[in-house]
Structure 1
Amino acid sequence: MQTSTFLYFNDGRAEEAADYYVGIFPDAKILDRQRGIEGKVTTVTFELAGQRYITYNGELEFPLTPAISLYVDCETQQEVDTLWSALTLGGQEGPGGSLTDRFGVTWQIYPKALRQLLDDTEPAAAERILNAMHGMKKIELQGLIDARDR
């Protein structure tokens, strides 16, 4: 058994989105493209960091919503910066490490060090870190470290 994230597009951009995501994530790949009777792509299956995703071109009005987002744990600030830059291109920044890309998919982009930073600190410092994080758009790890050390 395998689970996958299924992204329903009602604007015909499923293939464009899959190709874009595969182009910005390292070690990503398209696994399959399915076409309908008219030859148009209906479904693209792809993989990002070992996780399988499926984009689908549907006709019903099922809008993408920020109630569900894709979460990315980044190893470094450089990874955060690179993904943030690519995913906000034509999209919109949100608060506290969230963004909505140009396809309407919401993402949470966080440095892995955030978890460690929160785990290894006292409650008052953790609160300062979280307050600082909620005041940011793109997460800046150094800003969180500075908040902890105040």
Structure 2
Amino acid sequence: MKVIQHLWFTQDMEAAIRFYTALIPGSSMGEISTFPADTPSGPIGSVKVASFTLGDQRYMALEAAGPATFNHAFSITVECEDQAGIDRLWEALKDGGAEEQCGWLRDRWGLSWQIVPRRLSELMSDPDPRKRQRVAEAMLKMVKLDIAGLEAAAAG
């Protein structure tokens, strides 16, 4: 059994996939094909379907007319090893998009991303509840997550 996430774009699907796969190491783009029949979303050839991977996750994408818009109910989380990785992804994804609180942002296609340091999971798993609270409070005040700031909060 395989589980594959599915994204519905109303336009520019191929540009989005090319951008994402170039940005995330270990990613690849599969073939893009057009749907060979009329659909409620458009005539023959107007609906495109693609497969791709981001890191170790498989995705399908659809480009078609319709009411589909991305929202916070689905986001892609990327766990980074260091601040340089966070900074690189953040700058690329926010171009044409919008920054949000707690390491969230929306890219130019409206897709929500969470760019987080691996260290955050470790800090939030600390047995000391006061340390976890300090880290959580610091994170809630941040837009782009800052590892040094999280570490300082953990240290008190």
Provide the C-alpha distance between the structure 2 equivalents of 1:53 and 1:118, rounded to a whole number of angstroms. 29
Which residue is equivalent to 1:5? Answer: 5
Which residue is equivalent to 2:123? Answer: 117
Contact in 2 for aligned 1:22/1:47 (Cα 8 Å): yes
Aligned partner letter, 1:8 = W
Which residue is equivalent to 2:142? Answer: 136
Q: Please report how far the alpha carbon of residue 71 of structure 1 lies from its aligned counterpart in structure 2 after TM superposition.
A: 1.0
Which residue is equivalent to 2:106? Answer: 100
TM-score under structure 1 length normalisation: 0.92
Superposition RMSD on alpha carbons, in Å? 1.6
TM-score under structure 2 length normalisation: 0.89
Aligned partner letter, 1:67 = A
Provide the C-alpha distance between the structure 1 equivalents of 2:111 and 2:131, rounded to a whole number of angstroms. 32
Provide the C-alpha distance between the structure 2 equivalents of 1:79 and 1:40, rounded to a whole number of angstroms. 37
- State how 1:22-61 maps to structure 2 within 5 Å: 22-36=21-35, 42-61=48-67
Whether 1:87 aligns to 2:90 is: no
Provide the C-alpha distance between the structure 2 equivalents of 1:51 and 1:89, rounded to a whole number of angstroms. 23
Identical-pair percentage: 33
Deviation per residue, 1:63-109 (Å, 9 max, x gap): 11112111111122211111111111111010001000000000111
31-40 or 66-75, which moves further after superposition?
31-40
